[in-house]
Amino acid sequence: MGTFARAERLRKLPPYLFAEIDKMKAEARKRGVELISFGIGDPDLPTPGHIIRALQKAAENPQNHQYPDYEGTPAFREAVATWYRQRFGVALDPETEVLSLIGSKEGIGHIPLAFIDPGDVVLVPDPGYPVYHAGTLFAGGESYPMPLLRSNHFLPDLSAIPSEIVRRAKMMFLNYPNNPTAAVATQEFLQEVFAFARQHGIILCHDAAYSEIAFDGYRPPSLLSVEGAKEVGIEFHSLSKTYNMTGWRIGFAVGNAEIIAGLGAIKTNLDSGIFKAVQEAGVAALTGDQTLIHETCQIYQRRRDLLVDGLKRLGWEVEKPKATFYLWVPVPPGYTSKELTVYLIKEAGIVTTPGVGFGPHGEGFLRLALTVSEPLIREALQRMERLKL
């Protein structure tokens, strides 16, 4: 049997680092190592009961077993608009400014197909969520990395983007609170980015998947709460992290009606919407008791404090993030991020994510997800103490 050459767009993708890590994890398990994984950002906390019950009830209704509306049921889009008004004070038209997504990853990956032609430039954060680059590549566009540097609080320096790149740029991805760095953006910075995007005719795509996972009383702002931001911007949200629903695959995009319609046109041709019962569960999540989010954040905050304080005692230089459930930890001297990842898996059975997996400017850091119970965090700290890094 002959071999089948993959399309150039797949050959251009960087190697999927997490596949290599999975291989090392499998080898460690074969040796009988009990792994403690700070690797993938997948909440270990259960989906709240009232959301599960809403799904169960809706799944029993035969009308929900047929094709859903492509753009999302009216009830789900109305719930999104109500949630946005209550949370951010932003008014949205549920018919034209809200679109359901099969998780925000799907929308982020597809939006370049609606607006990017070969030769167009998309500005992407580096380090950043790999889908920004992959979606750009699949649309035939070129990614231009915006370095997120510690010296600039992991915010892109817009003045450092060359003028010829700015002229070709049609889209920019931003993500605050940020994955992987856990950095946050001020309202003033979002205003600055909006002004830049409006001046240069750039579509601004803000990935706000972690807006509700925040600590110490901090409340992350929305891009759309910047006056006029709907002129150029849309915001992606997910129920995954907010309500512990990663496997349910439900999210939404909101903002500029023309941009939303472009993304909707792609989706109409590529998917058939979200199972209506899952959308009813989404309505229950968005309109139900929001104090559960506060309780979730308190759990992550305790874990954050335990892990940060423990790492500091071991001599690691690490700061407490204001938001997300990640730590962005500088790698001790003598290691690359990948070398330290390999060492921790092999010698301590601890899984982390090397910063370089999120882009070249992620080198020198590890990302640790706080999706691990407190007893396991204590065990991991004991294992690391024995290594004497």
146 and 158 assigned to the same domain: yes
Q: What is the pLDDT of residue 366?
A: 98
Residue where a domain terminates, one of 287, 307, 338: 287
Task: Please give the average per-residue pLDDT across 10-19, as a whole number.
Answer: 79
| Cα(274)–Cα(280) distance, integer angstroms | 10
Assigned domain for 283 exists: yes
Both 42 and 90 in one domain: the answer is no
Q: What is the pLDDT of residue 359?
A: 96
Give yes or no: residues 188 and 314 share one domain.
no
Distances in Å between the Cα of 237 and the Cα atoms of 74, 137, 202, 255, 301 are: 18, 22, 20, 11, 22
CATH at 317? 3.90.1150.10
| 12 CB burial (10 A radius; 0-12, 13-18, 19+) | exposed
Judged against a pLDDT cut of 90, whether residue 191 lies above it is answered with: yes
In this predicted model, what pLDDT tens digit does every residue of 238-247 receive, in sequence order? 999 999 999 9
Position 2 in a domain: no
Nearest Cα residue to 352 out of 36, 138, 29, 118: 36
If pLDDT is split at 50, 70 and 90, which confidence band does 24 have? confident
Whether 62 and 91 map to the same domain: the answer is yes
Average pLDDT of 183-189?
97
- Please check whether residue 1 lies inside any domain of the structure: no
Residue 111 lies in a domain: yes
Mean pLDDT for the stretch of residues 127-144: 97
Higher per-residue confidence, 257 vs 388? 257
Same domain, 42 and 54: no
Last residue of a domain, one of 254, 287, 320: 287
State residue 186's pLDDT score: 96
Does residue 197 lie in a domain region? yes
**Taking residues 13-26, what's their average pLDDT?**
79
Q: How many domains does the chain have?
A: 2
Answer with the one of 228, 254, 287 that is the final residue of a domain: 287
Q: Is residue 244 part of a domain?
A: yes
Tell me: do 200 and 242 sit in the same domain. yes
Q: With the C-alpha atoms ordered 199, 203, 209, 212, is the resulting torsion angle positive or negative?
A: positive
Q: Give 14 or 97, the one with higher predicted confidence.
A: 97
CA distances from 56 to 47, 166, 233, 248, 250 (A): 13, 49, 36, 13, 16
d(CA 139, CA 159): 26
**Residue 72 has what pLDDT?**
96
Mean pLDDT within 114-125: 97
- Give the pLDDT band of residue 371 (cuts 50, 70, 90): very high
Q: Is residue 3 part of a domain?
A: no
| Residue 21 vs residue 179, higher pLDDT | 179
- What tokens does 322 get? 């204001």
**Mean pLDDT across 9-25:** 81
310, 355: one domain: yes
Query: Residue 388 — pLDDT band, cuts 50, 70, 90?
Result: confident
Residue bearing the bigger pLDDT, 220 or 26: 220
Which pLDDT score is estimated for 3? 84
In terms of domains, do 314 and 249 share one?
no
- Quote the pLDDT of residue 28: 87
Domain shared by 26 and 54, yes or no = no
Q: Check pLDDT > 90 for residue 15.
A: no
CA distance 239 to 246: 7
Question: Tens of pLDDT along 269-282?
Answer: 999 999 999 999 99
Q: What's the mean pLDDT in 68-79? A: 95
- Separation of alpha carbons 57 and 264, rounded Å: 28
Q: Is residue 59 part of a domain?
A: yes
pLDDT for the residue numbered 254: 98
CB contact at 8 A, 83 and 287: yes
Segment 60-67 shows an average pLDDT of 96
Round to whole Å and give the CA distance between 264 and 251. 14
pLDDT at 22: 83
Q: Which domain holds residue 135?
A: 49-287
Over residues 94-122, mean pLDDT: 98
Say if residue 20 is in the same domain as residue 139.
no
- pLDDT of 17 reads 67
Q: H/E element holding 89?
A: none
| Same domain, yes or no: 247 and 319 | no
Same domain (yes/no): 27, 128: no
pLDDT in tens, 326-351: 999 999 999 999 999 999 999 999 99
CATH number of the domain that residue 66 is part of: 3.40.640.10
Task: Quote the distance between the C-alpha of residue 28 and its chain's center.
Answer: 28
Residue 1 has pLDDT above 90, yes or no: no
Q: Which of 1-5, 32-36, 97-101, 182-186 has the lowest mean pLDDT?
A: 1-5
Average pLDDT score over the chain: 96
